[in-house]
Amino acid sequence: MIPTTLELTADPNGIARAADLLRQGLLVAFPTETVYGLGGDARDGEAVARIYEAKGRPSFNPLIAHVASVEAAQRFVQWSDQAERLANAFWPGPLTLVLPLKPGHGVSSLVTAGLDTLAVRVPAHPTARALLAAVDGPVAAPSANPSGQISPTTATHVHAGLGGRIAAVLDDGPCGVGLESTIVGLTGEPSLLRPGGVALEKIETVLNTRLHLHKAGDMLTAPGQLQSHYAPDAPVRLNAETVQGDEVLLGFGPVICDMNLSETSSLTEAAANLFAALHSLNKTGRPIAISPIPDHGLGAAINDRLRRAAAPRDS
Ligand code: TXA
Ligand code: MG
């Protein structure tokens, strides 16, 4: 138990301090362009165990290793032509690649949950990049929220969920993309393991092939894609045209509502606002109704998160 969580500013001093804490095996939440990540040294089993502990996360759910560059990624995974094409097109950025581990990789088996593959990503956020360069090693980082709850897109969200449980938060304002990275599996036929910040259509264009789509409940290809996830405390109802009873309406497009994801129907803007809107409506304590969101481009990732937020809860 850590009594106070340090608030670090994202300047050279704060970043150096954060890197020190990570090297000591402690946990630091840091901004990425997608959501805030809860970082721990991926080579240090105890640090990774602290991540699972702080989040209350089921241990069968493996973590993404964040690295500073393509070269750094290649130290840990077996590279391929398809990985090269996707990295050229989308790194640094909101794309995670799952690739076979290399012998002698040195990554804790708690990161991979014992799989022989590793999820790697080079984030684009300048503070994340500076931190990874300073640490000079892979940083395991799930979203910095208690397991099953809404992902954090501000340092305030991180404090609300994990304050007192982690060493520090590196604060650099709200995240630009607002949705987690897209995860593509490249261990067999290329497959979409999680929709996210890079639209499926763009990935298919670069690979010049269709991706296999992950089937719900297929735990073999995408461990940890839990049905109920990103869940506010209140019930969530999707595709709502009007409100019922005591509901608050989270709108999209030109609708009368309590809060709007994007009045101009921009999916990019809606993605960036999604988790902050859920955090804030959750505080009203009222059930949440949500307008229909188109299912193309980033809309597919938004709808994936919303279906999980609305799914029946595990007790
Ligand atoms: O945008 C993001 O990806 C954020 C930021 C912090 O980078 N991170 C994030 O991590 O969303 P997390 O732990 O919340 O989600 C990681 C997902 C899980 O669904 C997990 O099952 C999947 O990645 N995953 C990790 N390693 C995998 C592997 N070897 N094979 C298949 N899926 C894997
Ligand atoms: Mg998460």
Assigned domain for 160 exists: yes
- The answer on 99 and 18 residing in a single domain is yes
Check which CATH number belongs to the domain holding 11 and give it.
Answer: 3.90.870.10
51 lines ligand 1 (CB under 6 A): no
pTM for the predicted model, two decimal places: 0.89
- CB contact at 8 A, 294 and 302: no
The total domain count for the chain is: 2
Provide mean pLDDT across the span 47-56: 90
- Tens of pLDDT along 116-159? 999 999 999 999 999 999 999 999 999 999 988 999 999 999 99
Please tell me whether the peptide bond between 92 and the residue prior to it is cis, using omega within 30 degrees of 0: yes
pLDDT band at 49 (very low <50, low <70, confident <90, very high): confident
Assigned domain for 134 exists: yes
- The answer on 244 and 158 residing in a single domain is no
Res 217 pLDDT > 50: no
pLDDT at 258: 97
- The answer on 256 and 166 residing in a single domain is no
- Domain final residue, candidates 178, 202, 228: 178
Provide mean pLDDT across the span 266-279: 92
112 lines ligand 1 (CB under 6 A): yes
Provide mean pLDDT across the span 106-125: 93
- The answer on 137 and 17 residing in a single domain is yes
- Tens of pLDDT along 75-89? 999 999 999 999 999
Minimum CA distance residue for ligand 1 atom 10: 142
pLDDT band at 221 (very low <50, low <70, confident <90, very high): very low
Token reading at 67: 């690295």
Assigned domain for 219 exists: no
118 lines ligand 1 (CB under 6 A): yes
Measure 64 CA to ligand 1 centroid, in angstroms. 5
63 lines ligand 1 (CB under 6 A): yes
Q: Going edge to edge, which strands form the sheet with 248-251?
A: 236-237, 288-290, 248-251, 259-260
Token reading at 232: 């506010």
- Domain final residue, candidates 178, 196, 224: 178
- The answer on 15 and 162 residing in a single domain is yes
pLDDT at 21: 98
Assigned domain for 32 exists: yes
- The answer on 24 and 167 residing in a single domain is yes
Residue 302 has what DSSP assignment?
A: H
- The answer on 173 and 39 residing in a single domain is yes
pLDDT at 182: 97
Minimum CA distance residue for ligand 1 atom 24: 62
% of the chain exceeding 70 in pLDDT = 93
Mean per-residue pLDDT of the chain: 92
- Tens of pLDDT along 166-195? 999 999 999 999 999 999 999 999 999 999
More confident residue, 232 or 24: 24
Cα torsion through 60, 66, 70, 73, rounded to 10: -40
Minimum CA distance residue for ligand 1 atom 3: 181
Residue environment code for 232-258, b if the CB has 16+ CB neighbours within 10 A, otherwise e: bebebeeebeebeeebbbbbbbebebb
- The answer on 154 and 33 residing in a single domain is yes
Token reading at 107: 């990554």
- The answer on 169 and 41 residing in a single domain is yes
- The answer on 95 and 25 residing in a single domain is yes
Res 222 pLDDT > 50: no
Res 1 pLDDT > 90: no
Token reading at 80: 């391929």
The domain containing residue 290 runs over which residues?
236-310
62 lines ligand 1 (CB under 6 A): yes
- The answer on 289 and 162 residing in a single domain is no
147 lines ligand 1 (CB under 6 A): no
32 lines ligand 1 (CB under 6 A): yes
| Closest by Cα among 29, 94, 107 to 62 | 107
* Nearest ligand to residue 66 Cα: 1
Assigned domain for 11 exists: yes
89: Cβ contacts below 8 Å, ≥ 6 apart: 202, 206
Assigned domain for 207 exists: no
pLDDT at 315: 44
207 to each of 82, 98, 189, 235, how far by Cα in Å?
A: 7, 15, 11, 39
pLDDT at 26: 97
Minimum CA distance residue for ligand 1 atom 15: 142
pLDDT at 219: 43
Assigned domain for 211 exists: no
Provide mean pLDDT across the span 195-223: 80
pLDDT at 60: 66
* Nearest ligand to residue 305 Cα: 2
- Domain final residue, candidates 153, 178, 203: 178
The dihedral sign for the CA sequence 146, 147, 148, 151: positive
